[in-house]
Amino acid sequence: MDRDLNLGEMIITRLINIAGYSAIIFVGMIFYFLLREGLPTLNEVNFGNLVSNRWYPIEAYFGILPLLGGSLVITIGATLIAVPFGIGTAVYLAEIAPRWVREILKPLVEVLAGLPSVVLGFLGMLVLAPFLRKYLQLPTGLTAFTGSLLLGGMAIPTVVSVAEDAIDAVPKSYRDASLAIGATKWQTIWRVTLPAAKSGVTTAIMLGVGRAIGETMTVMMVSGNAPVLPGGIRALFKPARTMTATIAAEMGEVATGSVHYHVLFFIGMVLFLISLLINITASFVVFRQRQRQERILS
Amino acid sequence: MNKNNQKITIQNLILHYSDGTESLQDISLDIPAHAITVIFGPAGGGKSSLLRVLNRLNDLVDVVKLEGEVYLDDLDVLSPKTDVIALRRRVGMVFARPVVLPMSIQENITYGLEIAGIKDDQRLEDSLEKAALWEEVKDRLDDPAVTLSGGQQQRLCLARVLALEPEVILLDEPTSGLDPISTGKVEESLQALKEDYTIVLVPHSVQQAARTADYAAFFLQGKLIEYAPGNLLFTNPQDQRTQDYVEGRFG
Ligand SMILES: Nc1ncnc2c1ncn2[C@@H]1O[C@H](COP(=O)(O)OP(=O)(O)OP(=O)(O)O)[C@@H](O)[C@H]1O
Ligand SMILES: [Mg+2]
């Protein structure tokens, strides 16, 4: 009997181990494949070309800067929209809204978070883009700004949902303590509640922004798809193109093994590195905070 | 008791929570200035509820019925017209579990000063000094406040209240989580502080009540059973229930 139990234990442990290792192996394989297909770029295209500001693959111009720039502008734009609105809404729901409002809004927000991106892109093309063109008097409504707005809007529900949980988890005693020394509700939220929920709120922002960076469909549909290096604030209101959109749009029609093909994988590598960096930074921040908390609790 | 010396006057105070609990039933009580008034009794007696009325922290809770009158000097505490923020600066509160705010030691003190618009660098040291904490923290003011021990945290909470120089300090079982030495330090600070402040203390044990009370009020199930100077109430209680409780016959 004892033996049986041990055998059962062992099988389960093994299975869990295999599951764990396979996750690592898959990531490793993806990375290997990316490197294998992407690294030849460095031989085939000279470096000057790669960091130039012209993306025109048909004539062998492979400057990826405009794509990097496009991603950057749209992501920053989306973040600037998603963070204040997301956290503002989270604070409203957790601290200010009457209970019944909160009980209606919270599930609604969570439904919004699951909206498929194609649907948003579609709405963006048909409603938002014409609207922006008309009221901002632009030559086209399909601009980086349109993309930012939609991506920001997409990220908001994620930010709200995670941040609201974090704020709600702050013990009531913190608020009492702050109010008891004569702080207003607003001072308490700003100086005590939000800082106490810092690590959860950071996670919320990372998840929201992460969603914005990885998003392809919406961006491809509404940002105008022009690989132009953004210069200055005006670039926000011109068409742009992101790295993800470029890969999605061009991968289908490129000859396997061609230079263009390798460059697309190279872009994939760059994307991979960027998201890796962001993730590492985020987990570093969260990890340090957790370490501090553990030290405190022990 | 000398009428001129009253700091807080409570008349016919009734408080019911929305779940039907009648937590304070017709309480009348005068709290003298420059003394420690102890409010004690078994759990659920309404001690915390009373304290939270005195600085209107109950505004945030589901209270369905609040009647009677509370005066702080001439200020009508319960009037809707009363400036709650200003009131809370006059009536500070220290809670059962030390709640240090998620900031550095120094910021825990300066936070209250900042929001009150007070610029006075001396108050940081003074308040920590009065709470008997200065010597222990003067070299680590920028450390996160949560790195202090429980007893130090509680004294920091006291210092945070003292920095605002309130007139009344409410303490709700301030030593319930502390070891005897830290408890002793807090009690010592309170004895020193009563010269300048009006102190209302909910003690965490009858012994502490007896040790600290200038005046003592015994609460039982929302009623004020007996109120007398400490030396009388603990040696010669008039009510049988007070006597039973003081002698430890029920908990
Ligand atoms: N927010 C609230 N909502 C509903 N009922 C409450 C609330 N706070 C306290 N009560 C009830 O009011 C009564 C008095 O509670 P209170 O906390 O004032 O007692 P206490 O004397 O401080 O007790 P303890 O010694 O346990 O701290 C209790 O029956 C309690 O359940
Ligand atoms: Mg209590």
| CB of residue B43 inside a 6 A radius of ligand 1 | yes
Domain that holds residue A183: 39-297
Beta sheet of B36-40, edge-to-edge order = B91-94, B168-172, B198-202, B36-40, B215-220, B223-229
Q: Specify the higher pLDDT residue, B10 or B96.
A: B10
pLDDT at A220: 78
pLDDT at B2: 45
Confidence band for B227, pLDDT divided at 50, 70 and 90: very high
Interval between CA B48 and ligand 2 midpoint (Å): 4
Query: Number of C-alpha atoms within 13 angstroms, CB side, residue A235?
Result: 20
User: Which ligand sits closest to the CA of A172?
Assistant: 1
Instruction: State the closest ligand 1 atom to the C-alpha of B19, by its place in the atom list counted from 1.
Output: 4
What does the pLDDT look like over A125-156, one tens digit per residue? 888 888 888 888 888 878 888 888 888 988 89
pLDDT at B185: 84
Q: Looking at the domain assignment, is residue A115 inside a domain? A: yes
Residue B240 has pLDDT above 80, yes or no: yes
pLDDT at B218: 94
Q: Is B31 helix (H, G, I), strand (E, B) or coil?
A: strand
pLDDT at A110: 87
Residues 6+ apart with CB under 8 A from A89: A109, A156, A160, A164
Confidence band for A293, pLDDT divided at 50, 70 and 90: low
Q: Looking at the domain assignment, is residue A6 inside a domain? A: no
pLDDT at A49: 87
**Chain B interface disruption, residue of A175, A179, A181, most B CBs within 10 A:** A181
Q: Looking at the domain assignment, is residue A77 inside a domain? A: yes
Mean pLDDT estimate for chain A: 85
**Number of domains, chain A:** 1
Pocket test for ligand 1, best of B48, B57, B95 (most atoms within 8 A of CB): B48
Averaged over B139-145, what is the pLDDT?
A: 90
Give the tokens for residue A158: 């994620």
Confidence band for B225, pLDDT divided at 50, 70 and 90: very high
Q: Looking at the domain assignment, is residue A22 inside a domain? A: no
Strand partners, B31: B8
Buried b vs exposed e over B184-209: b needs ≥16 C-beta within 10 Å?
Answer: ebbbebbeebbeebbbbbbbbebebb
Q: Looking at the domain assignment, is residue A19 inside a domain? A: no
| CB of residue B49 inside a 6 A radius of ligand 1 | yes
Q: Looking at the domain assignment, is residue A26 inside a domain? A: no
pLDDT at B216: 94
pLDDT at B1: 44
Nearest-CA residue for ligand 1 atom 9 is: B49
Q: Is B129 helix (H, G, I), strand (E, B) or coil?
A: helix
Q: Looking at the domain assignment, is residue A17 inside a domain? A: no
ipTM over 0.90: no
CATH number assigned to the domain comprising residue A171: 1.10.3720.10
**Cα distance between residue A80 and residue A158, in whole Å:** 15
What does the pLDDT look like over A227-268, one tens digit per residue? 877 777 777 788 888 888 888 888 888 888 889 999 999 999
Residue A290 has pLDDT above 80, yes or no: no
Count other Cβ atoms within 10 Å, centred on residue A29.
10
Averaged over B30-37, what is the pLDDT?
A: 93
Residue B170 has pLDDT above 90, yes or no: yes
Say yes or no: B111 contacts chain A, CB-CB below 8 A. Answer: yes
Residue B39 has pLDDT above 90, yes or no: yes
Q: In this predicted structure, which of A182-186, B68-72, B176-180, B247-251 has the lowest mean pLDDT? A: B247-251
Mean pLDDT estimate for chain B: 88
A131: amino acid identity, one letter = F
Q: Looking at the domain assignment, is residue A199 inside a domain? A: yes
The residue written with tokens 């807090």 in the block is B186
Q: Is B82 helix (H, G, I), strand (E, B) or coil?
A: coil
Averaged over A209-237, what is the pLDDT?
A: 78
Task: Say what the pTM is.
Answer: 0.76
What does the pLDDT look like over A76-105, one tens digit per residue? 899 999 999 999 999 999 999 988 999 999
**Cα distance between residue B140 and residue B31, in whole Å:** 38
